[in-house]
Structure 1
Amino acid sequence: MFLFRRTKPQEQPPTEAELLAHYRTHGDVQDLGRLYEPYLHLVYGVCLRYLHDEADAKDAVMQIFEKLVTDLRRHEVQNLSSWLHTTARNHCLMELRRRKASPEAVEISLPGVESDGVAHLLDADDDFPTEEHLQQLEVAMARLPPEQQRCLDLFYRQQQSYQEIADLTGYDLKQVKSHLQNGKRNLKLYLASHVAR
């Protein structure tokens, strides 16, 4: 008779969701490094496409990592790849605006890549937004009612879910969806009539 020794099952590496949850709870920068490392090429690619300079793109990758130290503890991110793409894009657009900005310019956040309302006007993969487009978006955002501005900002820039927006604002889910839908429609209408493509 042969005796078989039980072998210890190999420990599975933690999933991305587990690492995110652990980082949100404990703030261990090593967890953040493990989360960020697989996406370095994605973030660098986005930054290079916008900034057109390797050194600037590398600097942006590090600046985004530093931003994540606090942002990933505040926001519950469901899709890290998409969230990082949006974060990198917004970081680069804000950097480009900062370089060209006049003193009175006010920085705003752009809707994320998933936006079905204005993505065709702002999708970086198809057509890089010009300074004029960004200024028009700023004007359009300022013309929205405050509740629509708030919901769009929370949903696209901060990647909050409908329920999280409801919890933060006090609106019910139906109101949140209505403010998002109306805000996107109003942005689209304004930009379509004021931005020459």
Structure 2
Amino acid sequence: MEKAPQTDEELLLAFKESNSQDVLAKLYLRYTDLVYGTCLKYLKDAEASKDAVMNIYQELLQKLPNHEVENFKGWLYVLTKNHCLMQLRSSKKMITVEFNPAVMQSEDFMHLDSVLDREQDFKKLEGCMEKLPEEQKQGIQLFYLENKCYNEIVEQTGMEWNKVRSLIQNGRRNLKICMDKND
């Protein structure tokens, strides 16, 4: 007699009781296409998405024992989305510089000009930040310089979510206008 397929809930319960990777793998395999598709949607790179599918499984092993999950598919989707967003956020912090051997071999110091230009841009940016209304400046600092998400800013400032979003958008626009004027 063929055994009926187990539901997500039954597999979750079995995993919580046994902490068996085989049980979790059986459950996760049902949704790897969903996880991969979601990763591909956010990361827009097949190889990075395949890596993310594996990393999310590892994340499941750590997080699932400590969470009460009623709807595994929905919970997994949110976990996947958050994983991708964190990857995207952390990749923004990394600066990629093209290697140019001609500059490295050159005896002239033209590359110093770009360093000086960049330093001037930072000074302009600091000046423009000072011209922003206080709430916009606070929003920009928390979001871009302290890498806080909207929800963290809402918690910290007590402002409504839409107001935080508006302050950051307006602050960014005002900074761009100010920077363009100073060119």
Q: Do structure 1's residue 135 and structure 2's residue 127 form an aligned pair? A: no
Cα offsets for 1:111-135 (capped at 9, x unmatched): xxxxxxxxxxxxxxxxxxxxx8x93
How many positions carry a matched residue from both structures?
A: 124
How much has 1:63 moved relative to structure 2? Answer: 0.2
Contact kept in structure 2, 1:60 and 1:92, CA below 8 Å: yes
Residue 80 of structure 2 is matched in structure 1 by 88
Percent of pairs identical after alignment? 35
Give, in whole Å, the separation in 1 of the partners of 2:8 and 2:60. 15
Tell me the residue number matched to 2:107. Answer: none
> Greater relative contact order (Cα 8 A, min sep 6): structure 1 or 2?
1
Q: What's the TM-score, normalizing by structure 1?
A: 0.54
Give the one of 44, 60, 79 matched to 1:52.
44
Measure how far apart 1:75 and its partner are.
0.5
Instruction: Report Cα offsets for 1:91-147 as digits up to 9, x if no partner.
Output: 1111111112279xxxxxxxxxxxxxxxxxxxxxxxxxxxx8x9368264444447x
Distance 1:84 1:46 in 2: 10
Q: Larger Rg: 1 or 2?
A: 2
Please tell me whether residue 70 in structure 1 is matched to residue 66 in structure 2.
no
Task: Please give the root-mean-square deviation of Cα atoms over the aligned residues, in Å.
Answer: 3.1
Alpha-carbon distance in structure 1 between the residues aligned to 2:150 and 2:52: 28
Structure 1: which 5+ runs fail to align?
Answer: 1-7, 104-131, 149-182
Q: Is 1:32 aligned with 2:24? A: yes
Write the distance in 2 (CA, Å) between the matches of 1:143 and 1:58. 32
Conserved? CA contact 2:36–2:49, under 8 Å: yes
User: TM (normalized to structure 2)?
Assistant: 0.58
8 A Cα contact 1:50 1:93, kept in partner: yes
Counterpart of 2:60, as a letter, is L
Which structure dedicates a bigger proportion of its chain to helix? Answer: 2
Change (3 A) 1:33 1:18: same
2:51 maps to a residue whose letter is D
2:118 counterpart residue number: none
CA–CA separation in structure 1 for the residues paired with 2:149 and 2:8: 38
Tell whether 2:180 aligns with 1:188. no
- Structure 2: state its 5+ residue gaps: 96-139, 174-183
The structural deviation recorded for 1:89 is 1.0
Task: Measure, in 1, the Cα distance between the counterparts of 2:45 and 2:70.
Answer: 31
Q: Which residue of structure 2 lines up, in the alignment, with residue 19 of structure 1?
A: 11
| Separation of aligned partners in 2, 1:139 and 1:43 | 23
